Structure 1
Amino acid sequence: MASGGMGDVLSGLLGGLLAQGFELEQAASIGAVLHSTAADQAAKKGERGMLATDLLPYLRELVNPC
């Protein structure tokens, strides 16, 4: 996950969580778990050389479970 934009995705997650009223420590923990879980799911589906945008569908599923 050392590609350009991955930190931007994490920062966006953290900003969104903070905007929803989570405390800083909660937002950091939840954001890190969401970010790493999305990357793990993408990797299981064969994603190699992931781009930051490749995480978005997985993040969407994690944040909005059906």
Structure 2
Amino acid sequence: MSQTRDRLLTVDQAADRLNTGPRFVRRLIAERRITYVRVGRHVRIPESAIENYVQAGTVAPIANRRRAA
């Protein structure tokens, strides 16, 4: 994870990046499935954590297989 100049996003901003609602991001935080930072009462998500989450969930396509007739 790149911590140099990693921008911290609000829950709403992280939800926008993931094209989801803020409730989903809050659930990821509650289940400890994504890295987050507590700043006082506030929760912030590093941009790199969003990128890592998306990359970890990315599924590569299967090569096109020919079916014998």
Please report the TM-score for the alignment, with normalisation by the length of structure 2.
Answer: 0.29
Higher RCO, 1 vs 2 (CA within 8 Å, ≥6 residues apart):
1
By percentage of residues, which structure has more strand? 2
TM-score normalised over the length of structure 1: 0.29
Structure with larger Rg: 2
